[in-house]
Structure 1
Amino acid sequence: MDITKYPQFELYLLTLNLLMLKIHLIPEGCGDRCINSTIINRAYFSSFLFCSLWLEDIKHFKPIPVMELDPEERISEHKQVRNALYNFGEKRMTEELSKLAKLRKKADYDPFLDITSKEVSDAVHHMQKIFNHLKFE
């Protein structure tokens, strides 16, 4: 499989470009939080979608849509993917995706909290670890 032809990889490349060009993308009068939160969001979703694709292609695992689960057994597709990575022996990738999920939650749901340059670089670093580690045959 040539992963470079997939939207997940295109989103990965977009995220790297957002980081590289971020200073030019901030609207006049705005702080850098707007672009920082977008970079973190895109780093998370490219990684989540990449992990989902890897699990489906290599391990034949596909998360069950949450609404198809019994109410008392509902677990998000995001958590299902992290659990599957862990269960298939990818503990380190589970940790990377979990760290990204935590950063994304802050970026998306806490708009008045600052996002540091370190958090942005950490998010991109976690994303790169995932993309560099999980291989398609």
Structure 2
Amino acid sequence: MDITKYPQFELYLLTLHLLMLKDQLVPDGCSDRCINSTIINRAYFSSFLYCLLWLEDVKKFKPIPVLKLAPDERISEHTQVRNALYNFGEKRSNVELSKLAELRKKADYDPFIDITPEEVTDAVHHMEKIFNHLKFE
């Protein structure tokens, strides 16, 4: 499989490009949080979608849509993907995606909490580790 032809990889490249140009992308009157949260969000979703594609292609795993689960058994597709990585022995990618999920949660749902430059760098490093670790056959 040539992953470079997939939207997940394009989103990965876009995230790297946003990081490189971030100082030029902040509109006048805005703090850098707007671009920092966007970079973290894109790092998470490119990684999540990449992991999902890898699980579907290599392990033949597909998460169950949350609404198809019984109310007392509902678990998000995001959590299902992280659990599947762990269960298939991909603990490293599970940890990286879990760390990204925490950063994304802060970036997307806590708009009044600052995001440090280190958190942005960490998010991109987590993303790169996932893309470099999970290989398609």
- Shorter-chain TM-score range: over 0.9
Q: Any runs of at least 4 consecutive aligned residues in structure 1 with deviations exceeding 2 A, and if so which? A: none
1:81 corresponds to: 81
Alignment of 1:44-83 (within 5 A): 44-83=44-83
TM-score (norm 2): 1.00
Q: Which runs of 5+ in 2 are unaligned?
A: none
Q: Cα deviation per residue 1:13-43 (whole Å; 9 max; x = unaligned)?
A: 0000000000110000111000000000000
Task: Give, as a single letter, the amino acid of the residue that structure 1 aligns with 2:103.
Answer: L
For residues 58-137 of structure 1, the aligned pairs below 5 Å read 58-137=58-137
* TM-score in terms of structure 1 length: 1.00
- Consecutive unaligned residues in structure 1, runs of 5 or more: none
Spell out, residue by residue over 1:21-77, the C-alpha distance to the aligned partner (whole angstroms, 9 max, x if none).
001100001110000000000000000000000000000000011001010110000
RMSD of the TM alignment (CA)? 0.3
Structure 2 counterpart of 1:127, one-letter code: M
Query: What SS is found at the alignment partner of 2:30?
Result: coil
**Could you tell me how far 1:115 is from its partner in structure 2?**
0.2
